[in-house]
Amino acid sequence: MSTQSVDVQWSEEMAFRANVNGHEIILDLPIESGGKDAGPRPKPLLLVALAGCTGMDVISILKKMKVEPEYFNVRAEGNVTEEHPKYFTAIHLVYEFRGKDLPMDKLQRACDLSQERYCGVSETLKKALTITSEIRILD
């Protein structure tokens, strides 16, 4: 077992500064919620963690397969309950690719390997909610 640790320090009003291995991220609320919109809200960062983790897996697996897309984007769409506590019940991942002669079977294999074997954020969240995914090849 290894450990990871982050510090998230209050700066003013609703704003916090996160320090993640030497990198700073400002968190804040939008103006209509009492913040100054100096940074993102915390909750969508859970989607960023998921999309980033699986995205890095996929691009790294595709590199080993000698597949390099011109464009690659991971969209994470989460369903959130309406009442407090407002939690995620499901997340859908859309892996979007653009490039010349992209081999669908290898794209599928890379995404499957990430979801089934490598992505630790998916493995964490899968125990709490349903994760679905699809691949789109854009024109």
Within 84-123, the residues that bind a copy of itself by CB under 8 A are 84-89, 117-123
Which helix (H) or strand (E) segment is 71 a member of? strand 71-80
Angle between helices 104-113 and 43-64 (to 10 degrees): 130
Helix, strand, or coil here: 110?
helix
Residue 13 Rama label (left phi>0; alpha psi -120 to 50; beta): left
Residue 35: C-alpha distances to residues 16, 28, 45 (Å): 11, 6, 17
Stretch that binds a copy of itself, among 4-12, 100-108, 131-139 (CB under 8 A): 4-12
Interface with a copy of itself (CB under 8 A), residue from 32, 82, 101, 105: 82
Q: Exactly one of 16, 107, 110, 131 binds a copy of itself (CB under 8 A); which one?
A: 16
Do residues 78 and 90 lie in contact, with contact meaning Cβ atoms separated by under 8 Å? yes
The nearest distance, CB 25 to a copy of itself, in angstroms, is 6
Which region among 64-72, 104-112, 130-138 touches a copy of itself (by CB under 8 A)? 64-72
Per CB under 8 A, the list member of 103, 104, 108, 126 interacting with a copy of itself is: 126
Number of chain residues interacting with a copy of itself (CB under 8 A):
72
Does residue 75 interact with a copy of itself by CB under 8 A? yes
